[in-house]
Structure 1
């Protein structure tokens, strides 16, 4: 008698344990092998995200128990980064949202889930396809229709060249941090990467683009409708948007800037004026800036805002009005920890640090990096020749510029290991 069916979409995100109950990581996908013809595909292994946000392959032969609550393995895993081999495909990454043709001639459907069933010999075979046969469009343009549970024999792929949506894939990975989703997209074939990008909301896509290598950013942006590309650039941090535009021809840069909201475009244009690898080229042009009369309570309320990164929130820049960059004269800074030590009504001008020297907007990036390291800062103010604040450089602004270009693909733990 065969074991109960397990559906992949319900497994995604589950914790994976060793026999002693220690957590090894989290399930991110299932790998299946298409054996050609009418032969049922077989699941060859799991893609598990281990500590360090790296995805590794665990063969199905090392899976001792798998259900909708947890997954248990022998505990032996190879920490080499997962990559497809031969005819292998990932269920969530490659198969979800593909079109299938029903063998009874009743039309086409879209794959939303795959059922696996363990055989007596221990193999896990694809037993079912859970599909949506569209009948129209619902809210927000989402397809609606009839759901069907088919056996493998009752459907066939519509063809690799057919457009593949990404609704199910995006839904299955909505809990991922932008950096982790970017890692997954970086490993995808170009066609699939574009399909996933088209499905993401503008704000989510902007967050993901900021975590991708330059080549991937340009490739995705070039496949977007020009107006949507401008909308996505508006959602990006100005320094990241400027870095991306630097990779495009001047004519395309100007077209996108013209389509952006004037206020967003102005911030990006200012950054594009600086030479590469200077403080001005990597800075954030909208740091936390307050006048000396602002109170501790006002400063705390400002840095508490969701859109302000932890690095920028660590430092309140004090300047004379106007407070929009470029501001009035730079006066000093107030560190977050110092705000915690004073009562809410205290004016920040009374407690600011006047000894911290800002960096020039023309300073080389190497100088900025040394200043951050020397004074144990997570951000530092940037001023122009008139000593007006024009932005701030944070640790995350410089990391991408001092790491190797291929740092996302580097694998420092490329060796077998046992876990648990």
Structure 2
């Protein structure tokens, strides 16, 4: 069927191509978009319903996400990139056209923008460089059913961070723990750990050691006041690469500081 869709696209028979494409399963559609060139990928993508557009985008690997974003209009690209964790936004910004990057920055909440800039300017082997942005939090006292709903909408892995009324970190809970918690029980009764956490200036070596000892799928990153500033998932560490040059004992990815300077210089944001 791939050949028929590609041939119809080549001949400008977009309606016929989409009739066939809409019969594909999500994984098949993802493979198709990766096989065609950027122009045809954009044509296919724009004719999909919004829900399927998002599903397709998040099924692509990082290089193909970059390729698709570069083919779209800046506003379209920003809409897709907004829900991504900070560390993926950083890697997308490196190869997206400048207009796309600045449109994304303008649409971010100030806290997200600050986290993105910190990540761009952070050492390559530091926790801040790889952590995801501020995750969904839930306040102590919320019932278990509310925590389950919050976790189901999270893109930060199978953990939910619990804070007190002042926003201070109390501990984390997991899907398995919440599943065993009665619907009306307060979420803090499902906390499985309150001791393991990282600081923004910690290195990846310490993070790997903490993951090995704790066995947790993710760790919160806390500031000096014990407030959550991000979360680092164990899965994210598998994508880290030692690269760049050394500066002051830290390794830096080439061009990131320059990229941060260029992107933020043209905006009236901090």
SS of 1:219's partner is helix
Which has a greater percent of strand? 1
The 2-side partners of 1:246 and 1:203 are apart by 27
Q: Does 1:99 align with 2:22?
A: no
The 2-side partners of 1:250 and 1:284 are apart by 23
SS of 1:401's partner is coil
- In structure 1, the gaps of 5 or more residues are 1-7, 9-28, 30-89, 101-108, 113-165, 323-327, 404-420
Which has a greater percent of helix? 2
Question: What is the deviation of 1:224?
Answer: 1.6
Q: Which of 289, 292, 295 does residue 143 from structure 2 map onto?
A: 295
SS of 1:357's partner is coil
Q: 1:184 to 1:362 in 2, by over 3 A?
A: farther
Q: 1:216 to 1:298 in 2, by over 3 A?
A: closer
Matched ranges for 1:3-402 at <5 A: 29=2, 90-92=3-5, 94-99=6-11, 112=16, 167-173=18-24, 175-177=25-27, 181-201=29-49, 204-248=52-96, 253-258=101-106, 260=107, 262-263=108-109, 266-274=111-119, 275=122, 276-303=124-151, 305=152, 307-309=153-155, 312=157, 314-322=158-166, 328-350=167-189, 352-401=191-240
Question: What is the deviation of 1:290?
Answer: 1.8
The answer to whether the 8 Å contact 1:206/1:232 transfers is yes
The answer to whether the 8 Å contact 2:78/2:100 transfers is no
The 2-side partners of 1:251 and 1:301 are apart by 36
When normalised by structure 2's length, the TM-score is 0.69
Question: What is the deviation of 1:389?
Answer: 0.7
Q: Aligned residue pairs: how many?
A: 239
Q: Which one has more relative contact order, counting CA pairs under 8 Å at least 6 apart? A: 2
When normalised by structure 1's length, the TM-score is 0.48
The 2-side partners of 1:366 and 1:335 are apart by 24
The answer to whether the 8 Å contact 2:77/2:100 transfers is no
- In structure 2, the gaps of 5 or more residues are 243-270
Spell out, residue by residue over 1:179-233, the C-alpha distance to the aligned partner (whole angstroms, 9 max, x if none): x644443333344333333334555445544454554433332222222222222
- Structure showing greater radius of gyration is 1
SS of 2:80's partner is helix
Question: What is the deviation of 1:379?
Answer: 1.9
The answer to whether the 8 Å contact 1:296/1:339 transfers is yes
Q: 2:245 maps to what in 1?
A: none
Question: What is the deviation of 1:239?
Answer: 4.1
Question: What is the deviation of 1:244?
Answer: 0.9
SS of 1:391's partner is strand
Spell out, residue by residue over 1:5-50, the C-alpha distance to the aligned partner (whole angstroms, 9 max, x if none): xxx5xxxxxxxxxxxxxxxxxxxx4xxxxxxxxxxxxxxxxxxxxx
The 1-side partners of 2:141 and 2:47 are apart by 46
The 2-side partners of 1:249 and 1:98 are apart by 26
The 2-side partners of 1:294 and 1:402 are apart by 39
Q: 1:91 to 1:395 in 2, by over 3 A?
A: farther
The 1-side partners of 2:230 and 2:113 are apart by 12
The 1-side partners of 2:36 and 2:88 are apart by 22
The answer to whether the 8 Å contact 1:378/1:394 transfers is yes
